[in-house]
Structure 1
Amino acid sequence: MKIDFSPEILRAGRALTGLSQEKFAAEAEIGVVTLRSIEKGRKHVSIEMIERFVNVLERYDVEYIQPTAEHGAGVRLAKGKRAAIALSERRRQPE
């Protein structure tokens, strides 16, 4: 099975978690420089790394959606509340 996990999908998924690049990278157990390179499309992503990203997304109630004949791959909020809470808290923090 082909996994379509583009930099755009990763950025969208991370945005739904409400996590900064630094926090997302720490949760995925990779360096923040590596995450930044991947999000910019400058670095190859292994299946192992995709699995790490999907695991982080799932911990924050964000689902990875496999492409079908009707739609492409993507991410969406699951029915849980953790991602919405994290995003809400992030928006309240001053930059």
Structure 2
Amino acid sequence: MFNYNRHMKRFHSQERWELLDRVPSPSTRHVLEETGPAAKTRKRCVGCYKNLTKDSDSRTAAKRAKRINTRCSQCKKHFCLDCFNISHIKCNS
């Protein structure tokens, strides 16, 4: 049988607790969540809008940015899956 804890045996008990403190708890991780019915809660993706405003004006960027109904669970900013995985590592607000 495979021993999943074989790497943890190398550490002393105090070091184990220090390692556990470094692991982010589920409440502090940033994950995407759906906000509700898509017809009422769709917003523009923050990442797509920011990238589009670099090349064109805000009105054009607003037309071309993705409309999504997912947002970060911690900072409540709306992101599409691509922008969330690429640029949203931690909350910068």
Q: What TM-score results when the alignment is normalised by the length of structure 1?
A: 0.24
Between Structure 1 and Structure 2, the one with more helix by share is 1
